[in-house]
């Protein structure tokens, strides 16, 4: 993968906040193999240091620590030198879920008793429930700027700008990335709609033109480099940008889902999203001359709790963005303490159902347990 000049790669010594090492990805994207388990990306930056993200995460950690401390009942004090060491691990699994009826209309009025959760086929007790319409969202908008999208790019820019203007509210943040043979950060996290719109308008198709590449500038010389680094873009967005963010996280991708040239595989991109609790929504825009891969688009969305919407016209593109906007603003939060407390780092399959089997629940398919 060719990285643009506005990406600066360096190995970071920052604390991993309970996650695995970030260093190995540099080797992966340069052609190496992925180590066992997921390792978030090497430090990729433009103008931003992760202070706002870390601050938000650390504040939540402090709040959670205080809450857990206050919840622990007082015990008689042991004599000095004989106090036992008490270790406690509390893991609340949070799920964001959208419910639709058989006519695909969102159902916003369900109660906690209407839901059932199972983990690896074992029923779980719901410990937390709420309807979410105002919880802040951290969003990544990824635009496919390979040659197969050249006819639709103006419409994508218009619809994407309208989507950002509609979805962002106080407390929300978004970034914009484009991907073709390269992965390009057009705007880092911000709540400024105007900056995000400028970034969307800045996206350019990267296609061969008389022996050189047009569109976004990059260190590619006169070689005719083509590609669509979809999986790399997802991997980087999750591991490098969303990993340190808290709360609701989503990636919205406009693409034909035809990956060409990524260094990471589809399953690794999905795992990156699952490990960072990120939902992927795909707007599938396919030019019949080039084709697309709806199977890949469906798997990315299905495995992470998102939606795949096929887009065949500019009008449908606008409608699709509106549907995703409604989806993100009409969710339930369900939380439970898993009966399996083993800290083995393995993937746990989660299923959420409602008492009314005519309703469909959209949520992630599982999570990775912490490793002790």
- Which has more pLDDT, 49 or 78? 78
Chain segment 283-336, per-residue pLDDT in tens: 999 988 888 999 999 999 999 999 999 998 888 999 999 999 998 989 999 999
| Contact predicate 179/233, CB 8 Å | yes
Q: Which residue intervals of the chain bear CATH 3.40.50.410?
A: 2-52+134-328
Three-state DSSP class for residue 148:
helix
pLDDT at 207: 56
As a whole number, mean pLDDT of residues 353-362 equals 95
Measuring CA to CA, which residue among 313, 297, 369 is closest to residue 340?
369
Query: What distance lies between CA 208 and its chain's CA centroid?
Result: 31
Predicted confidence (pLDDT) at residue 67 exceeds the cutoff of 90: no
| Spatial contact of 334 and 352, defined as CB atoms under 8 Å apart | yes
Nearest-5° Cα angle at 137, 305 to 247:
75
How far lies 94's CA from each of 68, 128, 278, 349, in Å?
17, 8, 12, 13
pLDDT in tens, 139-160: 999 999 999 899 999 999 999 9
Fold that domain 2-52+134-328 belongs to in CATH: Rossmann fold (3.40.50)
Q: Dump pLDDT digits (tens) for 104-121.
A: 899 999 999 999 999 999
């Amino acid at each position: 993968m060719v990285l643009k000049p506005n990406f600066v790669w360096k190995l970071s010594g920052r604390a991993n906040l309970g996650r695995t090492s970030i260093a190995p990805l540099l080797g992966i994207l340069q052609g190496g193999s992925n180590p066992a388990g997921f390792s978030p990306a090497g430090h990729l930056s433009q103008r931003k240091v992760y202070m706002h993200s870390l601050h938000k995460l650390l504040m939540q950690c402090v709040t959670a620590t205080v809450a857990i401390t206050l919840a622990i009942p007082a015990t008689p004090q042991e004599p000095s030198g004989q106090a036992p060491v008490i270790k406690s691990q509390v893991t609340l699994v949070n799920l964001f879920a959208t419910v639709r009826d058989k006519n695909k209309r969102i159902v916003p009025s369900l109660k906690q008793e209407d839901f059932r959760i199972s983990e690896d086929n074992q029923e779980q007790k719901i410990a937390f429930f709420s309807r979410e319409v105002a919880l802040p969202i951290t969003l990544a908008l990824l635009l496919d700027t390979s040659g197969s999208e050249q006819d639709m790019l103006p419409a994508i820019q218009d619809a994407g700008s309208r989507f950002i203007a509609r979805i962002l509210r106080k407390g929300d943040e978004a970034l914009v990335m484009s991907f073709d043979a390269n992965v390009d950060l057009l705007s880092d996290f911000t709540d400024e709609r105007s900056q995000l719109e400028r970034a969307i308008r800045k996206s350019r198709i990267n296609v061969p033109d008389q022996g050189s590449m047009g569109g976004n500038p990059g260190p590619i010389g006169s070689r005719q480099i083509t590609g669509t680094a979809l999986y790399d873009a997802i991997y980087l967005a999750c591991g490098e940008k969303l990993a340190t963010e808290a709360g609701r996280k989503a990636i919205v991708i406009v693409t034909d889902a035809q990956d060409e040239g990524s260094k990471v595989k589809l399953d690794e991109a999905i795992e990156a999203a699952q490990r960072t609790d990120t939902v992927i929504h795909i707007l599938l825009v396919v030019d019949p001359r080039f084709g697309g891969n709806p199977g890949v688009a469906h798997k990315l969305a299905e495995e992470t709790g998102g939606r795949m919407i096929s887009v065949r016209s500019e009008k449908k593109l606008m409608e699709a963005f509106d549907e995703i906007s409604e989806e993100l603003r009409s969710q339930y939060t369900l939380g439970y303490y898993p009966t399996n407390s083993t800290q083995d780092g393995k993937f746990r399959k989660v299923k959420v159902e409602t008492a009314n089997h005519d309703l469909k629940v959209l949520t992630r398919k599982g999570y990775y347990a912490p490793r002790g």
